[in-house]
Amino acid sequence: MHERRAAAMTDARTGEKTPLEMLARLKGRDGGRFLPQVAHDAGERLFSDFNRAQMQPRITASLQPRLESRARAMRADAAGLSDSALDARRRVGRALLSVGPELADVLLDFVCFEKGLEQMERERQWPVRSAKLMVRTALLALARHYAPPPPRRAIRHWGGEGYRPEIAAMFAEE
């Protein structure tokens, strides 16, 4: 099943893997995966929702005349979207809000716009090899949004052994 998803994540134009796939193949110092599977799956889910939401910017010129105001044009664009695209936009928005503004930009650039780690480091003027850690942190935060950990069980018992007085002993005749 993961092979099918990996094939879907391969760029159809060039046949190259996405930055998310390349990061998922990296090994950590202990020899295990650098990026946990839940983080990889969360990135795939965000990528899928982003594409389904049709949020990718246009890279070609539009030859249609633009005589209407920008606000009206934006409403018209949203009106032309299907319900599934609008739902996907809401899911992307909730996911990015849950990770916070600092990590949302990292996720958008790496997962959705498929910028490489080196390009992100240059654009943000980060130290070398720091983007890998920031992307991992952002993907783990995103994974918590998609699959929150189970709530911790509340303490049901406060006292230690023998903390309650014996009721029978209180009413016993001496």
Could you tell me the two tokens for 141?
Answer: 């935060």
Q: Render each residue's pLDDT in the chain as its tens digit; 174 residues.
A: 444 444 444 444 455 689 999 999 999 889 999 999 999 999 999 999 999 998 887 777 666 666 655 555 455 455 667 888 999 999 999 999 999 999 999 999 999 999 999 999 999 999 999 999 999 999 999 999 999 888 877 766 666 777 776 777 667 775
Could you tell me the two tokens for 10?
Answer: 């391969």
What's the predicted TM-score (pTM) here? 0.70
Question: How far is 64 from 80, CA to CA, in rounded Å?
Answer: 16
Q: Which of 102, 99, 108 is nearest to 50 (CA)?
A: 108
User: According to the model, what pLDDT value does residue 167 have?
Assistant: 75
Q: Which of 5, 50, 39, 51 is nearest to 146 (CA)?
A: 39
Torsion of CA 48, 79, 145, 37, to 10 degrees: 0
Angle, in degrees to the nearest 10, between helices 131-146 and 37-52 = 80
Helix and strand totals (H; E) in the chain = 9, 0
CB count in 10 Å sphere of residue 121? 17
Contact 48, 57 (CB under 8 A): no
SS3 41: helix
